[in-house]
Amino acid sequence: MVKFLMLRRQRHRAPGLLVYLRGDGHYYRVVEESRFDFLKEIGAADVIDRETLNADSPKAMLGEQWAGAYDTVGGKTLENVIKSMRYLGVIANCGMVGGGALSTSVFPFILRGVKLLGTDSVQCPMDLRLKIWENLAGPWKPARLERLVRTITLDDLGENIRAILQGKISGRTLVVPTTGAVL
């Protein structure tokens, strides 16, 4: 059973990420432009290029693929995800890195019962936020997250900023204030 699909695109053409989680919390699929081997190592069962979701399609609906999606990209990617949703699929959207405009038909909504929900992080009550963060730090925490984090010092910052802007670094970069400090 697919739990959700996450669409993420970083600024400056850095690799984006698309993740399905099965009901048991294990990765089902991940989509990223590069580093397919790395994605397999952290649990991806399948890897495809994200540009497949960014392609032009004149069709009002595409083949049913996704049971659910979490989208931070928006734009054409969101349009194609909407067109590809399974019957009664749900999409939560909180981003527009790929564009704020949405140009699609109503067919997926009326023929498949697709739902598009906005994600509010501003007015979300603190008790709900705390519950979500507790779950993210506990039962929902993906395995091998440490593989996604690199630690650098302030001395390395300039070089790493250039690499991030060129799309050569994915994951998270933790900057520590002193040389040689490790968390």
Fold of 2-143: Rossmann fold (3.40.50)
This prediction's pTM: 0.62
Residue 133 to residue 144: CA distance in whole angstroms: 18
Task: Note the pLDDT of residue 17.
Answer: 44
* CATH 3.40.50.720 location in the chain: 2-143
Q: What is the pLDDT of residues 32-68, one digit of tens each?
A: 445 667 667 766 666 666 677 888 889 999 999 888 8
Residue 36 to residue 170: CA distance in whole angstroms: 12
Residue 181 to residue 134: CA distance in whole angstroms: 27
Beta bridge partners of 92: 70, 117
Q: What is the pLDDT of residues 101-134, one digit of tens each?
A: 889 999 999 999 999 998 887 888 999 989 988 9
Q: What is the pLDDT of residues 142-181, one digit of tens each?
A: 777 777 788 998 888 889 888 877 777 777 888 888 765 5
Does 69 score more than 60 pLDDT? yes
